[in-house]
Structure 1
Amino acid sequence: MNPTTVRRRLASAVAVASGLLLPIAALAQGLEEVIVTAQKRSESLQDTPIAISAFNSEAIENMGLNNAKDIGLASPSLQTPAYPTTSNNLGFFIRGIGNADSIILTKDNTVGVYYDGVYAGRHTGVLSDLADLERVEVLRGPQGTLYGRNTTAGAISFITKKPSGEFSLDQTFSLGNYGYQRSVTSVDLPTVAGVKSHVDLTFTERDGWVENGGAGQVPGGDYNDFYLEDKQGIRIALRYDQIDRLVVDYSFDYSDMDTTSPYFQYSGATGAGISAAGGDIVASYRERVEKTYDAKTGQRRAYHLPLTTTRARGHSLTVSYDINDFLTFKSITGYRAFDDNLSQNFADSFGGASGLEVNTVTEHEQYTQEFQLSGSSASWKYVGGLYYLKEEGSAAERQYLDRTLVESTGIIAFDSSGPCVSGAFGAPPPVCNVLDPSFYPAYLGEFTVDSEVESYALFGQATWTPDILDNRLDLTFGARYTQDERTATRTTDGLLWNAFNPGDNGSDINQPDWSATADFRWTDQVSTYAKVSTGFRSGGSSPKSLDFSQTFDEETLVSYELGLKSELLDNRLRLNAAVYQTEIEDIILDYLPDPVNAPNIVDIFNSGEAEIRGVELDILAAITDNFQIGINYAYLDSDISDAVFPDGSDRTDTTVLVWAPENAYSLVADYYLQLDSLGELKAHLDYAWQDEQYALANTDAGEVLVGDYGLLNARISLDYVQLLGGEWQFAVWAKNLTDEDNVNYRIGQTSTTYLQPRTWGVDLKLRY
């Protein structure tokens, strides 16, 4: 974006904010205190020397944060790009650091996701619907000391409400366009035999908003619409706290998701000889469409698209015991697993002779165990412990250039003499001449990757408040030592044209991390901190590389941060800020050697260093007793040096960080009006804008950019209405209110997806 335009938009936002903040001193009451557990203990957000975005249950409801992707719009430093092959997985990026291919088992993520303290190594199926959350915490910057491996960018922590032991019922029904239906049932049950219990049930349906129809359909084939959703989930939570000093929490969750993938449109050049097969392409679709088309004919075409099915489940057991007034023992045991059968049809968006289809079947499970000892005294706060993770998974992927042809006729390849027919996928066709230049396989082959990870860690952190400077100085030091072991094996079907050869690899990493923080309270309302912290992301391998024995090493970083936490004007204005610099060594990059003709080949490697500099600003202000606004802004600048690629070329000048917008901000406004016996009227607006950003790290073949865009959401509700013995809420809402139709993902120069159209709906909620 033009820098002048950016400055103009920021100046306008600041001017509006200044105008809104002027009357605060005279009209508003104090802001509500926010409690977080970012440092493994409950404390005020303002007393925690970490850059944090925190959303309580009311903010989650007002903003319509129904799934994990929605969190990205509410926090400018967090990017959640739509995953290209499935709607059941997310890629998280914080401060420009993330993993674009977050679904694969042999490459770890940089943002740790935690569900009531349990780490989720893979993001597939985690929290398909955000139901009955107490809060969400987004920790920005490396969390290598307390959270450990693969939190170099930060961590996202979902904290659910705990059972109360008294009966209550919350029931929400929602209806909207595109056939949207949602039901959320939350029930607290009375205490039985000292056990408190809570149950959540969620059901969500939505029609696909890209209609998949037209020529090319084969009887018996699957031709679902793109972006379809059908999700169900259950969560059961139990709590036992009848023994003095002892609290036991257990939870089980299960999600069942049937969805379809995003729709990639061809948006490249047109004309004779444009396609990979030398044919004509007559149509390019550079605006959002809601029907499928064939770029080679410009006519409607149906693309083979089975449902993607995901079944995710998890158990967690947390036992907390207060040994004495100064020491607490906690055990957190977690198990998570998912089965995922993913199907994606790229719908000729790469401009080839036929559409690339991908089918991946993944089975994954992990076990984690953490033991903690924590406590405090007059001058000390401390926490330490042991951590263990065991992760196992298997992913089998099939790739097709024309799956409908294969499944309907058994033809899996062509040569100059015609089709080659085989009765099984396990052996090469008996006739095909693979040396023939016209050879064209319809079935590209199958490969399976089996992965196993085992990790051990010892960690500790202590905060000392020396008896000087009126006890306003806190000094914190933390350290962690991690041992990571990984093995992986790739097997294939042995077909002659299968690009992926068998192989195996492994790694053994021993990595220390540390952090040091000085936090000084200038007054009871204003504090500043200086922090240095390190982190690492484990090494691994690329399942889609031609050579599977090739591995990449761990990526390490050190971050320097200065922060401000303040509450001003009698606690009516909360102003927090952070300035940081992050230095990454052996940065892990993805590389598509030929994104046009072979988008299925992806290398992953270490290359050079990166430096990221940024500024973050969080403002929350109570303008009046009834009116509250929030302004959040993030600025990011980065450089990559010594970017040497696998072919030996130095591509420093054409290599960039992906999903790292230079500027991003969000504006939130909430207005409350008491209507006496009629309840309370609530009006909510939020607007999130992000600058243009790269979708591909190497831009040798031209910049692969997603343009800047902003999304406006709104919700109006009448709440706390006393009726028929219960408390009711009636609400109307809209997302993408202005119906923006910008590109939101891009693969290479021709394959693009677009923002979801405007959606709207109504909510009916009963509390009893």
Structure 2
Amino acid sequence: MSRSSYIKSLLLAGVTGMALAPAPVLAQAQPVAAPSQIASDDPTTDGGQLSDIVVTATKRETNLQKTPIAINVLTATALQDRHVQSLYDLADGAVPSLRVATFEARQSALTIGIRGIVPLDANQPAREQGVGIYIDGVYLGRQHGLNAALFDIERIEVLKGPQGTLFGRNTEGGALSLVTRAPTGKFDGSVTAGIANYGGYNGALRLDLPETYGVSLKLDGVVQYQGPTTKNTLAGQSGFNYFDRRGFKATARIKPVDGMTADFSYDNGYDANTPFYSQLLNYNPNGCVAGTQAAQPRCFLPGTNYTTLTGTVKSLIPGTIVNGTSRQKTTDIGVPQQPSIDKTHGFTSNIRWNVSPEIELRLISAWRGVNSTQWDNSGGAHRVPVLNPTNVVVNGQLANGTLFSRYSLADLHQNQFSQEFQAVGTVGQIDYVAGLYYFNEHVSDDAATPNSNFYNATTGVISIVDPCATVTTGFTIVGGLPVGGTTSPAGSQPGCRSIDRASEVWSKSYAGYGQATWNATDAIHLTLGGRYTRDHKRGVLHFSRNINYDINTAAAATNGYTPLDRTWKRFNPMATLAYDASDNVHVYAKYATGYRAGGASSRTANYLPFNPEDVKSYEIGMKSDFWDHRARLNLAGYIMDRKNSQVDISSIQPTATGNFNNLVTINAPGITKIRGIEADLTVQPVTGLTLTAGYAYTYTKIPPVLITSTGVLQDFFIVFTPRNAANGAIDYVMPLNDMDLKFHLDGNYAQSTQAFDQFATHNDASFIVNGRVALSNIKVGGSNQLTISAWVRNLFDTQYIFRRDPSNSLPAAPTSATATAGNINNVLGDYGNFNAPRTYGLEASVKF
């Protein structure tokens, strides 16, 4: 056994042995101090004891250990130790029950799930997320732009389980609440700069200005860069897994009258990125050949009842590399690739007024938006080539003019306005929260999938399709033909694209909610709450398969198209009974509900609508401190039943005019079962040494769905949700006179999962180790303090496939409801994405 394998085994054994239950150990490893104490990025313990952790999950500041909700908290120090620059960096398992995955086409659109609530594709304007993302109390309507650089984060609260009462719709699995630091009114700040491999660098500026004329101003700026980790062999084109981020935020705090605080902030972010490279993992892995379906049980498309298979498996394009064991450092065939661009902006007004000791009024208003432009050629030659109808394979070679390399292009523009009014306070034995909420969103998108390369069989040269080129008889490349011409445009530039789909959606949501906790005794607490929500969603499909529905209404009617215009109403109740068994042991039982709004799939020609889904959750938990507050163990077990689960049937449909990614969203009948156990443990055996471990067990089962077109019962799966996930960390602080030498090491394990709703195919299990060494509190120039550190992510350069797509290794989708023959002409092989390689760097930060 090699040394690295031996160390991995020891770390995995340690993580498994320590992980007894569910929850965010990092939260407890790096506790958050009370708000007045959160000036430090490095919370410490008091006399060797674990510090209290303050959270705002109930819309008021409470001690985590006495809050009857399963919560994980990632503090600024925890994020720094793991070198977390964006939310995607949490994908390695910082919280076992929190799962983060990037959408294949771009790194900026993140799939975020908690407790098995993980939508496969929330990229569509009329589709919602299952986990709510909040920044300083403001809900983000889209998952686009979520991978932007993080500003001066005070903490990230991971609220697990339905949060439908206080946080509202689309929080079935929970909520991710990002809290940034507020202005202090005192001169303070820090400057951070770092370098890394792959040409990486990062920088951050935090500047708190003294209060002037009653105004406290805080400025934050950040830049982050990483060069591509997979080189594009086409000269002058961007490589893969590259990002270039920058952002700015300004916050002003004023106190116009006694008891009133008003915060006004503006932020602006820019993120240029390229997707992970999608490499061909195998070639015809299911052994597909023409013949009877019964003789080829592996070459079977779920949900079909084929009796025969017809056609011929595709030949590989010359130069193609088949590699399912290791991450490619260079592409096999160069393709045009430019960065996707995401621009985010927002203005938030947060006004709080302590009217009396019994009530605080809050008014939170926010205008936010994101503009996202996607350029994704990550599949290169590994997706199904699109062939001209007269084009054939001759003697096993691609014929002259074969087009390939699906360039996935998409634009999304979103603007939202939200307004929330809250009343929070205490009257006698009653703690209460009441509020009104309004949300208004407008989203539009379009998508195209032209091809970017063609093969010249005479010369054996792969060439690039001209931006506005079309393929005509004889496979001559000619340019300049606009969309709507007599032949299909193959170009990628605007005005040269064949539009696969374009849609526009307007959403409005109204809600009123209330929650009250009756502190019956010092030890017994009963909480009851409810939220009424009214959602109205209106949507139109402007284009489908390059047909302009606004003009060609006859074609739209033939395709069965109907605009979306629906209203849904829900009441989501919640009840919790909590008991303080002692000063150090707290138990609770909780019933909670949540719901995710319905919508329509813009990937379908008829704009197929789907209904909301609803969740009921039953949870019991325990939070405990022991060993004189040197150890902390939190446990939770839950049962969730989800009704009308929104599941996706995804397929690539090759046709004579283009490659179409057709995603149909339906509601699965019956009850989807989700069951889980979570635990986290924090131990500080001696002053300066903190050991943490976390574990999450998640069982999911969607009832089989009857596919009406084929009469076949099909199994569906919840994606990116490992049955078992665990992590562990070691933190040690060694005093050196006035300085501190800090060591951090964490290990994160996740069992393999499905990556698509409809395929049983699994990606790989993973075990990732991160580390950091830092020397802090170095005096420089008076009271200024310098911290220098070295960090590494994926210490052992572990390679695993986090997304495996089998759609290109199976027969094509049925062409009609009565089809009994499956075509294998476009079978090639599985393709997928490996995780990021090892990254490491040096960083220096000065506080002044």
Instruction: Give the Cα separation in 2 of the matches to 1:14 and 1:423.
Output: 61
Tell me which residue corresponds to 2:604.
Answer: 545
Shift of 1:407: 5.7
Verify the 8 A CA contact 1:592 1:599 in the aligned structure 2: no
Residue 204 to residue 651, structure 1, CA distance change in 2 (3 Å): same
Tell me which residue corresponds to 1:483.
Answer: 534
- Post-superposition Cα deviations, 1:94-126, rounded to whole Å, max 9, x if no partner, equal 111122213221100011000000000112224
Verify the 8 A CA contact 1:425 1:493 in the aligned structure 2: no
Instruction: Quote the sequence identity (%).
Output: 26
Shift of 1:340: 1.1
Tell me which residue corresponds to 1:279.
Answer: 315
Shift of 1:59: 1.6
Residue 431 to residue 523, structure 1, CA distance change in 2 (3 Å): closer
Tell me which residue corresponds to 2:140.
Answer: 120
Structure 2 stretches lacking a partner, 5+ long: 1-8, 21-45, 290-310, 387-403, 455-462, 490-495, 550-554, 810-829
Task: Give the SS at the match of 2:382.
Answer: coil
Q: Which amino acid in structure 1 is aligned with residue 840 of structure 2?
A: W
Q: Which amino acid in structure 2 is aligned with residue 110 of structure 1?
A: G
Tell me which residue corresponds to 1:169.
Answer: 189
Task: Give the SS at the match of 2:106.
Answer: coil
Residue 589 to residue 575, structure 1, CA distance change in 2 (3 Å): same
Aligned positions of 1:435-454 closer than 5 A:
445-454=499-508
Residue 472 to residue 496, structure 1, CA distance change in 2 (3 Å): closer
Question: Is 1:757 aligned to residue 837 of structure 2?
Answer: yes
Q: Which amino acid in structure 2 is aligned with residue 248 of structure 1?
A: A
Verify the 8 A CA contact 1:319 1:330 in the aligned structure 2: yes
Question: Is 1:633 aligned to residue 663 of structure 2?
Answer: no
Tell me which residue corresponds to 2:233.
Answer: 213
Which of 484, 503, 524 matches 1:427?
A: 484
Residue 127 to residue 638, structure 1, CA distance change in 2 (3 Å): closer
Aligned positions of 1:317-396 closer than 5 A:
317-345=349-377, 346-352=379-385, 354-396=404-446
Question: Is 1:698 aligned to residue 758 of structure 2?
Answer: yes
Instruction: Give the Cα separation in 2 of the matches to 1:15 and 1:516.
Output: 34
Which of 728, 736, 739 matches 2:786?
A: 728
- Post-superposition Cα deviations, 1:664-719, rounded to whole Å, max 9, x if no partner, equal 01101100011013x100000011110010001112xxx32111011000000000
Shift of 1:53: 0.4
Aligned positions of 1:461-500 closer than 5 A:
461-467=515-521, 471-492=522-543, 495=546
Shift of 1:234: 0.3
Tell me which residue corresponds to 1:87.
Answer: 107
Tell me which residue corresponds to 2:326.
Answer: 288
Task: Give the SS at the match of 1:693.
Answer: coil
Which of 588, 602, 613 matches 1:529?
A: 588
Residue 167 to residue 431, structure 1, CA distance change in 2 (3 Å): closer
Shift of 1:401: 2.7
More deviation, 745-754/116-125: 745-754
Aligned positions of 1:51-66 closer than 5 A:
51-66=70-85
Q: Which amino acid in structure 1 is aligned with residue 163 of structure 2?
A: Q
Shift of 1:376: 0.8
Instruction: Give the Cα separation in 2 of the matches to 1:580 and 1:547.
Output: 39
Instruction: Give the Cα separation in 2 of the matches to 1:409 and 1:722.
Output: 58
Which of 308, 312, 319 matches 2:344?
A: 312
Verify the 8 A CA contact 1:29 1:622 in the aligned structure 2: yes
Shift of 1:392: 0.2
Tell me which residue corresponds to 2:245.
Answer: 231
Give the superposed CA RMSD.
2.7
Instruction: Give the Cα separation in 2 of the matches to 1:651 and 1:414.
Output: 43
- Post-superposition Cα deviations, 1:385-431, rounded to whole Å, max 9, x if no partner, equal 1000000011111111336878616433456x545867444313169
Shift of 1:551: 0.3
Instruction: Give the Cα separation in 1 of the matches to 2:798 and 2:123.
Output: 28
Residue 421 to residue 487, structure 1, CA distance change in 2 (3 Å): farther
Task: Give the SS at the match of 1:64.
Answer: coil
Task: Give the SS at the match of 1:88.
Answer: strand
Shift of 1:288: 3.2
Q: Taking CA–CA contacts closer than 8 Å with sequence separation of 6 or more, which of the two structures ends up with the larger relative contact order?
A: 2
| Aligned residue pair count | 723
Instruction: Give the Cα separation in 2 of the matches to 1:60 and 1:9.
Output: 21
Residue 203 to residue 14, structure 1, CA distance change in 2 (3 Å): closer
- Post-superposition Cα deviations, 1:302-345, rounded to whole Å, max 9, x if no partner, equal 11111211110011100111111101110000111011111001
Tell me which residue corresponds to 1:567.
Answer: 625
Q: Which amino acid in structure 1 is aligned with residue 177 of structure 2?
A: S
Tell me which residue corresponds to 2:208.
Answer: 188
Q: Which amino acid in structure 2 is aligned with residue 352 of structure 1?
A: P
Tell me which residue corresponds to 2:705.
Answer: 643
Q: Which amino acid in structure 2 is aligned with residue 704 of structure 1?
A: T
Verify the 8 A CA contact 1:144 1:533 in the aligned structure 2: yes
Q: Which amino acid in structure 1 is aligned with residue 352 of structure 2?
A: S
Shift of 1:565: 0.9
Question: Is 1:103 aligned to residue 141 of structure 2?
Answer: no
Task: Give the SS at the match of 1:58.
Answer: helix
Instruction: Give the Cα separation in 1 of the matches to 2:405 and 2:499.
Output: 15
Tell me which residue corresponds to 1:41.
Answer: 60
Q: Which amino acid in structure 2 is aligned with residue 644 of structure 1?
A: L
Instruction: Give the Cα separation in 2 of the matches to 1:497 and 1:273.
Output: 38
Residue 277 to residue 506, structure 1, CA distance change in 2 (3 Å): farther
Tell me which residue corresponds to 1:150.
Answer: 170
TM-score (norm 2): 0.81
TM-score (norm 1): 0.89
Tell me which residue corresponds to 2:393.
Answer: none
- Post-superposition Cα deviations, 1:421-447, rounded to whole Å, max 9, x if no partner, equal 674443131699xxxxxxxxx965342
Verify the 8 A CA contact 1:341 1:360 in the aligned structure 2: yes
Instruction: Give the Cα separation in 2 of the matches to 1:98 and 1:169.
Output: 38
Residue 140 to residue 496, structure 1, CA distance change in 2 (3 Å): closer
Residue 649 to residue 519, structure 1, CA distance change in 2 (3 Å): farther
Structure 1 stretches lacking a partner, 5+ long: 1-6, 19-26, 294-299, 433-441
Residue 106 to residue 646, structure 1, CA distance change in 2 (3 Å): farther
Instruction: Give the Cα separation in 2 of the matches to 1:158 and 1:409.
Output: 42
Instruction: Give the Cα separation in 1 of the matches to 2:169 and 2:778.
Output: 48
Residue 164 to residue 495, structure 1, CA distance change in 2 (3 Å): closer
Task: Give the SS at the match of 2:79.
Answer: helix
Task: Give the SS at the match of 1:408.
Answer: coil
Shift of 1:129: 1.6
Which of 180, 193, 203 matches 1:160?
A: 180
Which of 233, 242, 247 matches 2:261?
A: 247
Verify the 8 A CA contact 2:373 2:411 in the aligned structure 1: yes
Aligned positions of 1:598-677 closer than 5 A:
600-608=661-669, 609-645=671-707, 647=709, 649-652=711-714, 654-677=715-738
More deviation, 112-121/370-379: 370-379
Verify the 8 A CA contact 2:678 2:697 in the aligned structure 1: yes
Shift of 1:493: 7.5
Task: Give the SS at the match of 2:622.
Answer: strand
Verify the 8 A CA contact 1:74 1:666 in the aligned structure 2: yes
Residue 60 to residue 495, structure 1, CA distance change in 2 (3 Å): closer
- Post-superposition Cα deviations, 1:462-514, rounded to whole Å, max 9, x if no partner, equal 001124xxx31111111011010111111227747999966522221011111
Instruction: Give the Cα separation in 1 of the matches to 2:202 and 2:666.
Output: 43
Residue 669 to residue 392, structure 1, CA distance change in 2 (3 Å): same
Aligned positions of 1:573-592 closer than 5 A:
573-592=631-650
Tell me which residue corresponds to 1:23.
Answer: none
Q: Which amino acid in structure 2 is aligned with residue 706 of structure 1?
A: N
Q: Which amino acid in structure 1 is aligned with residue 315 of structure 2?
A: G
Tell me which residue corresponds to 1:30.
Answer: 49
Residue 530 to residue 351, structure 1, CA distance change in 2 (3 Å): same
Q: Which amino acid in structure 2 is aligned with residue 254 of structure 1?
A: N
Instruction: Give the Cα separation in 2 of the matches to 1:67 and 1:325.
Output: 39
- Post-superposition Cα deviations, 1:625-671, rounded to whole Å, max 9, x if no partner, equal 0100111100011222142235354435x322111100001101100
Instruction: Give the Cα separation in 2 of the matches to 1:117 and 1:360.
Output: 29
